[in-house]
Amino acid sequence: MASLKIIKKRITSVKSTQKITRAMKLVSAAKLRRASEKAHSSRPFEEELKSMVSTILNEIEWSSPLTMARPVKKMAAIICATDRGLCGSLNANNFKAALRILNQKRASGIEVEVVALGKKAGEFFRKNGFKIKSVTTDLARKASHTLISSVASEVRKEFLSGNFDQVDVFYCRFQSALVQKPSTFTLLPFVPPKSEEKKSFIYEPEAPELLNQLVPMLLDFQLYRVVLEMIACEHGARMAAMESATKNSKDMIERLTLQRNRARQAAITKELMEIIGGAEAISA
């Protein structure tokens, strides 16, 4: 059994850790509400953009370099992750799903480059032998539509120039504070959404020119929505992880307190036995 002094130090250390985990849980809980509202409110806007595009495509034939599919020799994987840890298995689950797909791509002879949105994504895939095209960090604090649009614009330029034949996005979709689902979709080439709804509109400017503006806007916002989803997932996962850590530290404190009491009782018993033994020796 550890000495009484060591047990007391452990209790003090665990209590200090518990204060930190409790504070982190409260901070993440406060940030989660705002982040989840942004993530949920971004979905209807994206769906409305898709609806507008599909409605126009029901009336005209439209083609663009962004929709041209070609044999895939080189692809970009946009991996959305966090900058910091302490968020449970969020990044691990996302990376595991992405790594399985990307390894299959590489095994079939496709060259893969990673566009990392989040420090952890860059670190993980660099260690696993992937070429890192770029790393964008500090998204939880400074993520904006302008910043993400610049990333999406660079990816589009690479696709249009033929440097990439396909662009896939890997992220975690926010469902609740306890559920974050690894997801993926193909950003480029753009697959026009289909709709059976028939409407008649007068367009200004002309429909093809309008689509040339709407489609890049939709692609930019899809990537922005992914980042908002990931930020909400990060706060939800961190809140759950810190709540679990706080609970575990409480259980550990109880166990250490019990050990301390037993050690103290053993020490007192030993002293009493020594006193009784000394008294008997004197009286004899």
CA distances from 16 to 10, 79, 216 (A): 10, 35, 50
Please spell the DSSP secondary structure of 154-181, one letter per residue. Answer: HHHHHHHTTS-SEEEEEEEEE-SSS-EE
Cα end-to-end span (Å), the chain: 34
Token couple for 100 = 């399985």
* Catalytically annotated residue among 80, 87, 172, 233: 87
Q: Where are the beta strands (DSSP E) in 107-212?
A: 111-117, 131-136, 166-174, 180-188
Query: Exposed, middle or buried, 130 (CB in 10 Å: 0-12/13-18/19+)?
Result: buried
| Cα 158 to Cα 76: distance, rounded to the nearest angstrom | 9
Q: Determine whether 87 is an active site residue.
A: yes
Please state the separation of Cα 47 from the chain's center in Å: 22
Contact 230, 117 (CB under 8 A): yes
CA distances from 119 to 23, 68, 84, 91 (A): 23, 32, 8, 11
Catalytic machinery residues: 87
